[in-house]
Amino acid sequence: MACNSKGLHFSLFYLLFNILTFLAVEKLGWHLKSLREPTARNLNGYLHFNS
């Protein structure tokens, strides 16, 4: 029973971790989307300059 309870706690922790990671990625993605235009231009210039 103790082992099963431990597994349940691990599953809940893992689920919570996944949700938090998903939210962080969504938030980061939204920021990247709003910054994408100038950032993409800068990145292209940087890649062309270095290659």
Q: How does pLDDT run across 28-43, given as a tens digit for each residue?
A: 887 777 766 666 667 7
How many domains, in total, are found in the chain? 1
Residue 44: give the domain boundaries: 13-51
Q: Is residue 43 part of a domain?
A: yes
Pair 32, 39: CB distance under 8 Å: yes
In the predicted model, what is the mean pLDDT of the chain? 78
Q: Is residue 5 part of a domain?
A: no
- Kindly report the pTM of this predicted structure: 0.46
Report whether pLDDT(4) > 90.
Answer: no
Q: Is residue 6 part of a domain?
A: no
Which residue matches tokens 């235009």? 37
Work out the pLDDT band at 2, boundaries 50, 70, 90: low
Q: Is residue 35 part of a domain?
A: yes
Q: Is residue 42 part of a domain?
A: yes
Report how far residue 5's alpha carbon sits from residue 30's, in angstroms, rounded to the nearest whole number: 37
Q: Is residue 8 part of a domain?
A: no
Q: Is residue 1 part of a domain?
A: no
Q: Is residue 29 part of a domain?
A: yes
